[in-house]
Amino acid sequence: MAPSTVLRWRRAPSRSHKGLARGFGLLSDGTRLGILAELSKGPKNVTDLCKALKLKQPTVSHHLGLLRMGRLVNGEHQGKAVVCTTDKTNLKALASALARLMPK
């Protein structure tokens, strides 16, 4: 491998790479993937997610909070409940970024 190639790989990741790493990091947890899978079926509140995933409310709320901060899930107040949906735009952006990393 040429020295210039080695140096190229040692550069710090760009801001966009750091953002992608954070997004993919959110997807690296089974509970969060389960939440996204349930929400892909349609909007759900925390109680619905707890029942579907057989998890306790604090666990689901914690992971939902992380997904909301990462903008992979949206929440809308409907009365006392917060109904969650996937953020299709940001999930598609992550999927597109991953596709760009695939060899042609």
Q: What is the mean pLDDT of residues 84-104?
A: 90
Q: Which domains does the chain have, with CATH numbers?
A: 31-98 (1.10.10.10)
pLDDT for position 17:
78
Concatenating the DSSP letter of every residue in 18-71 gives HHHHHHHHHTTSHHHHHHHHHHTTS-EEHHHHHHHHT--HHHHHHHHHHHHHTT
Read off the pLDDT of residues 21-80 as tens digits, 9 standing for 90 and up.
888 899 999 999 999 999 999 999 999 999 999 999 999 999 999 999 999 999 999 999
The pTM of the full predicted model, rounded to 2 decimals, is: 0.80
If you average pLDDT over residues 91-96, what whole number do you get? 90
